[in-house]
Amino acid sequence: MRRTVAALLAATLATACSAGASTPSGPRITVLAAASLTEAFEDLGRGAAVTFSFAGSQQLVAQVGAGAPVDVVATADPDAMDRLARAGLVNTPRTFAANRLTIAVRSGNPERIQGLADLARDGLKVVLADPAVPAGRYARQVLERAGVRVRPVSLELDVKAVARKVAAGEADAGIVYTTDVAAGSAVAIPDASNVVATFPVAVVRASTDRAAAEAFVDRLLGQPGRAALSARGFLLP
């Protein structure tokens, strides 16, 4: 119980603040990234002159569109990135990671959920991400492919909130990225129904430090990035 509250608080505060890796000297660049990338990017950014700001992909797009002074943007949503590219706000996007969806269940799986079909069960509290965010859109696709009709109790506004509600025990199950939950609290979705979410990254045209921004993207696509991402369970292109 107490642990749950602590976890909820910590999670809440982590999303509320932007996490920054710290080196005191040299130019800093700012990277906007999808919420689901939080842990992997923080690992990668440790010791580098990078400030991160994590949010839902749509919000990232809105921020870049509004001219936020940032250098790099990484989303969980290729469509959103395409819109930025078409508007000429970013350079050519490159895919750096992929993710699959999984069913998040309460610790120990007390409801004995075996697969997607169980999510339609009466009385089961299922939370999904809102279709306005990529995780919600993918979840809807997955459920459609499997032919399962789910009546969620809530459509959360970012995927982390889905994972949080299940981890806290308020909901019985949710559909999240595999990277959002520990193996013990996840029930796999078979490849036939699953989707692959790809994560594109791009340098923002308005960046004031193009070189450092390019360097970050290279690092992300290179060995350090691959290591950090796979350590957090991401698939690599």
Partner 1 sequence: MPLAATAAVALMVLPLAGLLVRVPWSTLATELATSEAQEALRLSVVCSLGALAVAVVLGVPLAWVLARVAFPGRSLLRALVTLPMVLPPVVGGVGLLAIFGRRGLLGARLGSLPGFPLPFTIQGVVLAQAFVAMPFLVVATEAGLRQLDRRYEDAAATLGARPWHRFRTVTLPLIGPSLVAGAALSWARALGEFGATITFAGSLPGRTRTLPTAIYAGLQSRPEAAVALSVVLLAVSLTVLVVLRGRWLGAGGP
Binding site residues, partner 1, CB under 8 A:
1, 4-5, 8-9, 12, 16, 56, 58-59, 62, 125, 127, 130-133, 152-157, 161, 165, 168-171
Binding residues for molybdate, as ranges, are: 36, 57, 135, 159, 177
> Residues 114, 190: contact at Cβ < 8 Å?
no
- Alpha-carbon Rg of the chain, whole angstroms? 18
Kindly list the distances between the CA atom of residue 180 and the CA atoms of 39, 93, 135, 174, 222, in Å, as whole numbers in the listed order.
Answer: 9, 24, 11, 11, 23
At its nearest, how many Å lie between partner 1 and the CB of residue 218? Answer: 30
At its nearest, how many Å lie between partner 1 and the CB of residue 141? Answer: 16
Secondary structure (3-state) at 98: strand
Instruction: Catalogue the E-assigned strands of the chain.
Output: 29-34, 50-55, 72-74, 94-105, 126-129, 154-156, 173-177, 186-188, 196-203
At its nearest, how many Å lie between partner 1 and the CB of residue 149? Answer: 15
Residue 58 or 179 with smaller CB distance to partner 1: 58
At its nearest, how many Å lie between partner 1 and the CB of residue 17? Answer: 11
d(C-alpha 88, C-alpha 84), whole Å = 6
Q: How many CB atoms lie within 10 A of CB 24?
A: 5
Please state whether beta strands 94-105 and 50-55 pair in parallel, antiparallel, or not at all (unpaired): unpaired
Binding residues, as ranges, are: 36, 57, 135, 159, 177
Residue 26 or 123 with smaller CB distance to partner 1: 123
At its nearest, how many Å lie between partner 1 and the CB of residue 132? Answer: 4
Residue 152 or 225 with smaller CB distance to partner 1: 152
Residue 38 or 207 with smaller CB distance to partner 1: 38
Residue 153 or 221 with smaller CB distance to partner 1: 153
